[in-house]
Amino acid sequence: MVAGQEFCAVAEGGRHLPTAVCYTARVLRKWMKIGVPVLVIVVLIATGLYYLMNARTFQLAGHVVHRVDTDAKVVALTLDDGPTDRTPEVLRVLAEAQVPATFYLNGADLADRPEHGRSIAEAGHEIGNHTYSHRRMVFVTPGTVADEIETTDAEIGKTGYTGPITFRPPYGKKLWTLPRYLADHERVTAMWDVEPDSGKPGVTADDIVAETVDRVRPGSIVLLHVMHGSGASLEAIPRIVAELRSAGYEFVTMSDLMTR
């Protein structure tokens, strides 16, 4: 014992600890009692929001399509982002394979390269809205959502395309304001059930073909990123088309698929 030191009146573990120590212990115990349940709740809410914002098959409002429930052997090929300067090559590959695709394009890229947007429309492919700036559409205001979607619709209109325009959220992310806007404007959220090249650096055309052929089932929506990256996704297209056709599949656009 140190002379002059004060000790707690209540014994802790059979010992009378110095006042400062037992005071700290008491405060810690109190915070643990409140803090642990609060932390658990925060983690649960954050986990729930994370799954909700990334869910492919569910959103809080509006119509989301990640595949179509059908026995018919139909599949939609959907190509995200751009248009970039790779567009002529992409269109050549699709023309040679005689396959229709649905392009989810960004308004800013259309504004930068209007000639590529026009050539996609002229080739008869479907065009979808993938926002103006390709930003994550979570924790955004209703004004931002409206602006991202409407400015992109306007750019799509300038390509000469007049067909249906479904919407695909960048990174597949959505929470509340985006689905609410889409529901209010009767717009379809077009997700996917097969994504052989997403977030896989170094993936080869062989891998992409194998995963696509393995995962596609009647009514599937395949997502490929052909506008940038190594070129493996574009290289995979003729083989995906050949293999699925020989298995009896017909390729259709996103809006065609939704009528099956």
The residues annotated as belonging to the active site are 80, 225
- The CB-of-229 to Zn ion minimum distance in angstroms stands at 12
Site for Zn ion in 178-237 (CB under 5 A): none
- The CB-of-139 to Zn ion minimum distance in angstroms stands at 18
Site for Zn ion in 136-175 (CB under 5 A): 170
Contact 79, 90 (CB under 8 A): yes
Task: Give the CA angle between residues 11, 16, 17 to the nearest 5°.
Answer: 115
Contact 154, 127 (CB under 8 A): no
Choose the stretch contacting Zn ion; rule: CB under 5 A; options: 32-40, 72-80, 111-119, 249-257: 72-80
Q: Which is nearer to Zn ion, 213 or 221 (CB)?
A: 221
Choose the stretch contacting Zn ion; rule: CB under 5 A; options: 74-82, 136-144, 214-222, 246-254: 74-82
Site for Zn ion in 34-53 (CB under 5 A): none
Residues 6 or more apart whose CB falls under 8 angstroms from that of 154 comprise 107
Contact with Zn ion (CB under 5 A): which of 66, 81, 167, 222?
Answer: 81
- Please work out the total of residues on this chain that contact Zn ion, with binding judged by CB under 5 A: 3
d(CA 75, CA 72): 9
Contact 131, 170 (CB under 8 A): yes
- The CB-of-28 to Zn ion minimum distance in angstroms stands at 47
Q: Which residue has the tokens 């809006």?
A: 255
Choose the stretch contacting Zn ion; rule: CB under 5 A; options: 12-20, 44-52, 79-87, 173-181: 79-87
d(CA 195, CA 37): 38
Choose the stretch contacting Zn ion; rule: CB under 5 A; options: 36-44, 75-83, 186-194, 230-238: 75-83
Task: Count Cβ atoms below 10 Å from residue 120 Cβ, excluding itself.
Answer: 26
User: Which two structure tokens, joined as six digits, stand for 81?
Assistant: 């982002």
With 0-12 / 13-18 / 19 or more C-beta atoms within 10 angstroms meaning exposed / middle / buried, residue 161 is buried
- The CB-of-170 to Zn ion minimum distance in angstroms stands at 5
Q: Which is nearer to Zn ion, 195 or 244 (CB)?
A: 195
Q: Report DSSP state, residue 160.
A: T
Task: Count Cβ atoms below 10 Å from residue 171 Cβ, excluding itself.
Answer: 15
Closest residue to bound Zn ion by CB: 80
Q: Which is nearer to Zn ion, 129 or 159 (CB)?
A: 129
- The CB-of-81 to Zn ion minimum distance in angstroms stands at 4
Q: Which is nearer to Zn ion, 7 or 171 (CB)?
A: 171
> Of 56, 58, 68, 57, whose CA–CA distance to 259 is shortest?
68
Binding interface with Zn ion (CB under 5 A): 80-81, 170
